[in-house]
Amino acid sequence: MYLADHAWPDLESYFEEESLALVPLGSTEQHGPHLPEATDHLIGEAFAREVADRTGYLCTPTINVGVSGHHRQFHGTMWVEPPAFREYMESLTRNLTTHGIDRVIYVNAHGGNVQHLREVGSRLRQEGVAYAIEWMWDESIPELVDDLFAQNGPHGGPKETSMIQYLEPELVHDDRLEEARDTGVPSVEDAETVKHGSRTFFDAADNTDNGVLGDQTDASAEKGEQLFEAASDQLVQLSEWLAAQDFEDLLPNDHV
């Protein structure tokens, strides 16, 4: 059920019967010479809409710009500063609670958003306002990701390339996959920016000249379909688990 498609009187029954919302998030940032800057938010929205269709739970509009300042050296990357992102996401989630939503899954496809969504969720839980948790598609199926790719990236690598080849194939520059591989680096380890236990890099450009890592030629739409179906199943199960919980059981424990 996609919130923005419905007139307000037609949403009343959902809010009377259900208390869960899926909020898709991503970013608008460089993903190398072969993928669109929409990569992350396209993936996040695809998962949220798929699972909303399969379960009947509510899907909100997508948050397309996130915490992406570490990609700022590449043309077109958009970002907001972390405090602004946290404030916005907290405000948006509190908005949902006024309609009776007390549990939220942030269907997130951008690693730069993770720690900030966790902070927002923790604050809302401490206040007893809502139970809001972050979900990353690839972290829900790590064994499959490892089985499909010898080197998955992470950023702009074959797992994300496969996903967009499956979801939005017309947006992928397949003729640039070898360029992406050959002008990038296989991994952060290969970039040699971890020194004596310290991550000495701050931006993507510190690690890779073209913005991406991994072997993009190892991607395929068929692998993307496998990833999408497997992770969608995980998100369905998470949604059903969360909807079945008593809200009081989701709140912090009393002091020992």
Domains contained in the chain, CATH given = 3-250 (3.40.50.10310)
Band of the pLDDT at 154, cuts 50, 70, 90?
A: confident
- Measured CA to CA, the distance from residue 188 to residue 145 in angstroms comes to 18
CA distances from 43 to 78, 123, 188 (A): 17, 27, 23
What pTM was estimated for this model as a whole?
0.95
Band of the pLDDT at 60, cuts 50, 70, 90?
A: very high
pLDDT on residue 188: 82
pLDDT digits (tens, 9 = 90+) for 212-232: 999 999 999 999 999 999 999
92 pLDDT more than 90: yes
Band of the pLDDT at 124, cuts 50, 70, 90?
A: very high
Average pLDDT, the chain: 96
254 pLDDT more than 90: no
